[in-house]
Amino acid sequence: MDEKNILLAVTGSISAYKSADIANILTKKGFNVNVIITKSALEFITIPTLQTLSKNKVITDVFDDFNPEEVTHIALAKKADLFLIAPASANIIGKVANGIADDMVSTTVLATKAPVYVAPAMNTNMYENPIVQDNIAKLKRFGYNFIEPGSGLLACGDTGVGKLASIEDIIKVVESVFK
């Protein structure tokens, strides 16, 4: 298999720490993993962790290391064979569904032609909110793929749907795209 480029977008959810395992496992399986991260996600996980595990520089801002010869978010969008948002917060789902491009993740996902896989992770009440469900349905109509969240005890103490899908399931989905 030729090396495939995975663009892993990490957004603001308590499960952002699980993105370290996702990056690590995909890298060990031979994928080239580039990570982009929202400022909110940086409250839950650090850049050095993701850089060490992905073996690539983590990008947090559209204007990081501005290079006039290569517009970073466009270059990453074009390089991606698969764009994975894990975890995907209600915020990023809403932004993308409505064409809002105001950070590295939302700007890059709107610029990619790669298949996009979205793994939601949020409180049950947020996930079940009709606005969030409408945004998910809208993205599905546009061809975005969803890795459905699990159900159970959430970090906030509530029980219900909204847990990030298992790392194993996320990895299986990514691998299945290239088989």
Give the catalytic positions in this structure: 156
What count of residues does the chain have? 179
Write the CB contacts of 24 (distance below 8 Å, at least 6 apart in sequence).
Answer: 53, 54
- CB atoms near residue 20 (< 10 Å): 19
CB 33 within 8 A of CB 54: yes
Q: Does the N-terminal peptide bond of residue 87 adopt cis geometry, omega within 30 degrees of 0?
A: yes
CB 159 within 8 A of CB 153: yes
Give the pairing of strands 150-153 and 159-163. antiparallel
Burial zone of 102 (CB within 10 Å; 0-12 exposed, 13-18 middle, 19+ buried): exposed
